[in-house]
Amino acid sequence: MKEILKFGGSSVADAACIQGVAQIIAKSQNPGDEIYVVLSALKGVTDALIKIANDVRDGRFLPPALQIVLDKHEAIMLELGLDTDMELVTSFKQLSTEMKEHLPRCPGASVDFKMWKDVLLSFGEILSVRIMSSYLKSKQIDAELLDARKVVITDSNYGNAYVHYQKSYDRIREYVSNHSRLQIITGFLGANEYGNATTLGRSGSDYSASIFGAALNVDLIEIWTDVDGILTANPKIVDKTVPIPELTYEEAMELAHAGAKVIFPPTMIPAMYKRIPIVVKNTFRPELPGTRISPDRALKGQITVGLSSVSNVSLIRMQGAGMVGVKGINARLFTCLADKGISVMLVSQAFSEHSTCFAVKPDETDLALMCIDDEFAKELKAKYIDSVLVLDDLSLVAVVGEGMQHTAGIAGLVFQVLGQEKINVEAIAQGSSRRNISFIIHDSEAQRAIQRLHQVLFERAEA
Ligand code: ASP
Ligand code: MG
């Protein structure tokens, strides 16, 4: 087996966690297996570095902030019996001095600032990987650091860089073929064509795992985190959630889109393209199976797999007799919203074409209304469009499952439950994938709806 093991920040929060991770790594090193490890920065470190960078920019930087970050790493190294890495400490300090001198001269949002910020952020992953590789060496595991900035090639969109896949894959393969030790890889990092450090967006080390997995054609990518897997619903809303044993990539994406805290969908693309399964596992309970995400799964009666939800959503409803049968209304509507950078979360239009509604975040409703007023000024004046209404304080709920494609009655069941609970539905959309039924209800009723649906769909024996 060829595998990537990726450990997130919470898996490397302190010395004890690092020892636990080292044990998981040691256990995965079976004869004949080839493994690669991708690491995030220690828990909280990226947040701390972002704050430092922003404070420097705003002239509020206090040097102790940097020392606190360094001390945290040094304390862990001491606890693990490792020598302090003087070279790294010196370069970290030097960088911060340079930042302090340089940054007041460059405006906050400039490319310069973003560039420096990514250099600072890269220290988070470099430090955690240095610690892990040194610790593994001290335990007689022949590991070494792979600084992803040498092999992951990106554009210059600092803070959220786009990866050039083929160039990166070639570099990764070449690098790995010349390095036979166990590679401990910095997640989250890349470099542009000039060699400047870039970062791949928050939580970007999942993306790194997927990129290295695809480059190396591994058999499996393991994402080690602090939950038992992807859960059937948000545990803050439902008591009896359970980890979902198996999901297709599409189901995982449908769940993620509507708020479930799983892997961020774009991070799966390289793995998906190569059909590499991803397993989400709990570092603190490694004996549990976790959730397996793969191209297909046996349905085994699992028609629906999970519920996800986002609260605090607004719905805008545009209606008018003059919209019926008129071509191009939707095209104009969604183009004008897109032009203003407004993201639409759900769309529904009745067959009569008399009204179209769509969901957005509440802080975008004013802008959306302005766009509509502008774009449809003529139609509004002529009363072809007679009202544009906004409904606030809503929740979007999605029922997700591959089996719904082939099974009648799920929508019936879902809306029957809502009916029994006397919950009024404001809008409905069934994903064109047929793996997702989404609907909008009042925020105040969302918890009850989700709890009851979870009972009926996932706790059948007790329902
Ligand atoms: N350390 C980075 C972050 O916190 C990347 C990651 O954890 O995946 O966003
Ligand atoms: Mg993280």
Query: Mean of the per-residue pLDDT values for the chain?
Result: 90
Nearest ligand by distance to the CA of 41: 1
Which atom of ligand 1 is closest in space to residue 203's alpha carbon? 8
Backbone torsion region of residue 275, taken as left when φ is above 0, otherwise alpha when ψ lies between -120 and 50, otherwise beta: left
Q: Of the candidates 226, 252, 280, which is a domain's last residue?
A: 226
Could you tell me the pLDDT band of residue 339, with boundaries at 50, 70 and 90?
A: very high
Residue 411 domain-assigned (yes or no): yes
24 lies in the same domain as 165: yes
Q: Please compute the mean of the pLDDT values over residues 231-257 and round it to a whole number.
A: 89
- Of 430 and 127, the structure prediction assigns the larger pLDDT to 127
34 lies in the same domain as 178: yes
Mutate which of 11, 39, 46 for ligand 1 pocket (most atoms within 8 A of beta carbon):
46
pLDDT at 261: 64
Hunting for tokens 């693990």 — which residue is that? 80
Q: Which residues touch 416 (CB under 8 Å, ≥6 apart)? A: none
103 lies in the same domain as 202: yes
Q: Please compute the mean of the pLDDT values over residues 115-125 and round it to a whole number.
A: 91
19 lies in the same domain as 166: yes
Q: Of the candidates 201, 226, 251, which is a domain's last residue?
A: 226
126 lies in the same domain as 220: yes
Q: Please compute the mean of the pLDDT values over residues 414-443 and round it to a whole number.
A: 90
- Gap from CA of 40 to ligand 1 centroid (Å): 5
Q: Does 460 score more than 90 pLDDT?
A: no
pLDDT at 116: 86
Residue 285 domain-assigned (yes or no): no
Could you tell me the pLDDT band of residue 111, with boundaries at 50, 70 and 90?
A: low
Return the SS3 of 292: strand
Which atom of ligand 1 is closest in space to residue 206's alpha carbon? 8
pLDDT at 63: 72
- Gap from CA of 32 to ligand 2 centroid (Å): 31
Q: Please compute the mean of the pLDDT values over residues 383-409 and round it to a whole number.
A: 90
Lowest mean pLDDT among 22-31, 250-259, 301-310: 250-259
Domain extent at residue 106? 2-226
Which atom of ligand 1 is closest in space to residue 41's alpha carbon? 1
Please choose, from the candidates 235, 268, 255, 262, the residue with its C-alpha nearest in 3D space to the C-alpha of residue 396: 255
pLDDT at 462: 45
182 lies in the same domain as 312: no
Q: Which residues line ligand 1 (CB under 6 A)?
A: 8-9, 40-41, 46, 124, 187-188, 202-205
pTM score:
0.88
Q: Of the candidates 165, 197, 226, which is a domain's last residue?
A: 226
Mutate which of 6, 37, 118, 202 for ligand 1 pocket (most atoms within 8 A of beta carbon):
202
320 lies in the same domain as 193: no
pLDDT at 112: 78
117 lies in the same domain as 210: yes
- Gap from CA of 41 to ligand 1 centroid (Å): 6
Hunting for tokens 């019926």 — which residue is that? 324
Residue 264 domain-assigned (yes or no): no
Residue 194 domain-assigned (yes or no): yes
Neighbours of 177 (CB within 10 A): 8
Q: Does 109 score more than 60 pLDDT?
A: no
- Gap from CA of 142 to ligand 2 centroid (Å): 26
21 lies in the same domain as 151: yes
204 lies in the same domain as 316: no
Return the SS3 of 221: strand
Q: Does 106 score more than 90 pLDDT?
A: no
Residue 233 domain-assigned (yes or no): no
Q: Which residues touch 287 (CB under 8 Å, ≥6 apart)? A: none
Q: Give the pairing type, strands 220-225 and 2-7.
A: parallel
Residue 349 domain-assigned (yes or no): yes
40 lies in the same domain as 177: yes
Nearest ligand by distance to the CA of 38: 1
Residue 43 domain-assigned (yes or no): yes
CATH number for the domain spanning 143: value is 3.40.1160.10
Q: Does 94 score more than 80 pLDDT?
A: no
Residue 261 domain-assigned (yes or no): no
Query: How many domains are there within the chain?
Result: 2
Q: Does 75 score more than 80 pLDDT?
A: yes
Query: Of the ranges 75-79, 172-176, 296-300, 383-387, which is most confident?
Result: 172-176
104 lies in the same domain as 203: yes
CATH number for the domain spanning 351: value is 3.30.2130.10
Q: Please compute the mean of the pLDDT values over residues 267-285 and round it to a whole number.
A: 94
Which residue lies with its CA nearest to atom 5 of ligand 1? Answer: 203
Answer positive or negative: Cα dihedral of 199, 205, 207, 209. Answer: positive
- Gap from CA of 359 to ligand 2 centroid (Å): 29
Kindly state the tokens that stand for 400.
């997700």
- Gap from CA of 40 to ligand 2 centroid (Å): 6
